[in-house]
Amino acid sequence: MKKWIAVCFLFGLSACFGGVSAPSRFYTLSPVIQEPVSEKVTASVGIDRVQVARYLDRPQIITQTLGSLEISLSETNRWIEPLSNLVQRILSEDLANALPNAPVKMKTQGREDFSYVLSVDIIKMDTVFGEKASLEAWFLIQDRSGKVIARKKASEVVPVGTSFDDMAKAQSDLIGRLAVQIAREIVRLSAGG
């Protein structure tokens, strides 16, 4: 009985001293494209998939330490939805804003007929607070028959502030820049380039 009372006492003390954790904060990304890249493109664009590197695709927000290979994972600062879904949705909206007369939507069935089918692999999406946010991605565009007609690597870097809110804004900007690169490639392909 004395052991049981001692255990209960210890649990009670642990609850008093640090048993309460900080509340989680949730972040999202937002579309940033305001000005169209081209209003002439009317070809339909189907987004087949947007894949985020596995080390990033988690609820916790990941940051990097300046001048180090150390990665920090925040338990209290989290994405509001799975990062791969979030990036896919924001990239789709930015691409639709960049090409306002081209129907852009997620490809959901195998028999859908799009002029172009887009696949994106985000291989890096890092933030060093107070320094920079960076994104590296490969994107692949196929024509209606499934033939690969473009495969490009995109690399973007923007300055970032010192808060998680600053980081989410910078990452939104990076996805917008990626959407502009993809839109320019679709404009080039539509022009017969």
> pLDDT tens digits, residue range 117-136?
999 999 999 999 999 999 99
pLDDT digit string, tens, across residues 11-65:
454 445 555 677 899 999 999 999 999 999 999 999 999 999 999 999 999 998 8
The CATH fold of domain 27-190: Rossmann fold (3.40.50)
Confidence of residue 116 (pLDDT cuts 50, 70, 90): very high
The SS3 assignment for 150 reads strand
Q: Give me 68's structure tokens.
A: 């180090």
Render pLDDT for 137-175 as a digit per residue (tens, 0 to 9).
999 999 999 999 999 999 999 999 999 999 999 999 999
pTM score: 0.86
pLDDT value at residue 112: 82
Q: Residue 1: CB partners within 8 Å, gap ≥ 6?
A: none
In the chain, where the domains are located: 27-190
Can you read off the two tokens belonging to residue 169?
């804004």
